[in-house]
Amino acid sequence: MEIRTIGATPLALTQFGFGGAAIGGLYRECPRDDAIAALQTAWDAGMRYFDTAPFYGFGLSERRTGDFLRSKPRESYVLSTKVGRLLRPVPDNQIPDHSYVNPLPFAVDYDYSYDGIMRSFEFSFARLGLNRIDILYVHDIGAYTHGPEKNAVYQKQLLDGGMRALQELKSSGAISAYGLGVNEVEVCMDVIAQSDIDCILLAGRYSLLDRSAERGLLEECRKKKISLVIGGVFNSGILATGPVPGANFDYGPASEDILSRVRSMEAVAKSHSIPLAAAAMQFPLRETVVANVLIGTAKAASLTRNMDLLNVTIPEAFFAEVEQFTIK
């Protein structure tokens, strides 16, 4: 599998990596054996980059990722997790509903301050059971998650102290790179205008369908040598399922406008005799600032099916024809 470096650092990732939300029970329960089987399938496919977060199953994904990687030679893989949320133990009847099924018994508190990021980093080591984390992403900063008023407070926390924590961790060698893990372009532009970062894990905003990142972010990343890690290549499912009844886009039911766009894309894909999902997986890596595409699933069979799509050759004419149907 091709290797690409992160920003101006020597850190290198396989071009596809494993995203750990689903093994934390996102939307449906994921038994431990299924999680380990999915991780093993990713490893067998050649993936050597694994991303997780405290939020995924309220610690469950980190525990499972660490359990799997503990037996692997430490120099053979790259691991990222996230900061910005602290977990707090609560009684079972107070576990919040954030779409994780049977998560660990914790509530989630946002904290983007210097101390909050340092605490989150230390707590992740305990959950992972590992002694090194390569990349830290600031998780879900931005108005998309918090709304404008709350985000103004959290963004000030980050810029006034949280970024200093990340800089110190990198300078000391505790981590090799840091950046943002978000679902929106605007906060990326805000942060990189005021801080130096190495990478952005951007979910759903540089896909075959949603090209929001082309509104200035790609160019800024090129200028500042910031790498993109792309999540959500199927835009919550619709680029994998097609425009079927009940198809999801951006974590909710797809609108008629989105269904219409994807119907048109699907028709173009059929005219070229290619699966739309294959084009969705391969699209982001056509851009040089993209270092990695994350594939997240709790099922080994689904991961195998997705990896088989990489063997499909997508003609350049297809990408040119579907551009008219994209969101920009």
Output Rg (C-alpha) for the chain, integer angstroms: 19
Model pTM score: 0.97
In this structure, are residues 200 and 224 in contact, taking their beta carbons and an 8 Å threshold?
no
> Cα–Cα distance between 220 and 193 in angstroms, integer?
9
CA–CA distance, 109 with 101 (Å, rounded to integer): 19
- The answer to whether residues 302 and 277 touch, using CB atoms and an 8 Å cutoff, is no
185: helix, coil or strand? coil
pLDDT bucket at 81, cuts 50 / 70 / 90: very high
Mean pLDDT of 63-87: 97
Residues 158-198: tens digit of each pLDDT: 999 999 999 999 999 999 999 999 999 999 999 999 999 99
Amino acid letter, residue 313: T
Give how many domains the chain has, as a whole number. 1
Please provide the average confidence, as pLDDT, over all residues in the chain: 97
In this predicted structure, what is the pLDDT of residue 194? 95
Cβ contact 243:262 at 8 Å: yes
Q: How confident is the model at residue 101 (pLDDT cuts 50, 70, 90)?
A: very high
Burial class (CB in 10 A: 0-12, 13-18, 19+), 82: buried
Instruction: Report the alpha-carbon angle 235-188-169, nearest 5.
Output: 110
Reported as a pLDDT band with limits 50, 70 and 90, residue 255 is: very high
Active centre residues (catalytic): 51, 56, 82
Domain containing residue 222: CATH number: 3.20.20.100
pLDDT confidence bin for 275, thresholds 50/70/90: very high
Measured CA to CA, the distance from residue 47 to residue 39 in angstroms comes to 9
Cα 103 from Cα 152, distance rounded (Å): 29
**pLDDT (0 to 100) of residue 144:** 92
Q: Which residue has the tokens 């994904």?
A: 61
CA 238 to chain CA centroid, nearest Å: 17
When pLDDT is averaged across residues 282-295 and rounded to a whole number, the result is 97
State mean pLDDT over 30-59.
98
Find out whether 287 and 218 touch, Cβ atoms under 8 Å. Answer: yes
Q: How many CB atoms lie within 10 A of CB 304?
A: 15
Which letter, b or e, does each residue of 254-282 get, where b requires 16 or more Cβ atoms within 10 Å of its Cβ?
beeebbebbeebbebbeeeebbbbbbbbb
Average pLDDT (260-280) is 98
pLDDT-derived band of residue 31, with 50, 70 and 90 as boundaries?
Answer: very high
Closest CA to 72 of 53, 51, 52, 44: 44
Cα(274)–Cα(208) distance, integer angstroms: 14
Q: Which of 49, 55, 101 is nearest to 79 (CA)?
A: 49
Q: What is the pLDDT of residue 154?
A: 98
Percent of the chain with pLDDT over 70: 100
pLDDT tens for 111-161 read 999 999 999 999 999 999 999 999 999 999 999 999 999 999 999 999 999
Give the domain extent around 249.
3-325
Q: What is the DSSP letter of 255?
A: P
Number of residues assigned to the chain: 328
Q: Are 260 and 276 in contact (CB under 8 A)?
A: no
What SS3 string covers 67-103? HHHCCCCHHHCEEEEEECEEEEECCHHHCCCCCECCC
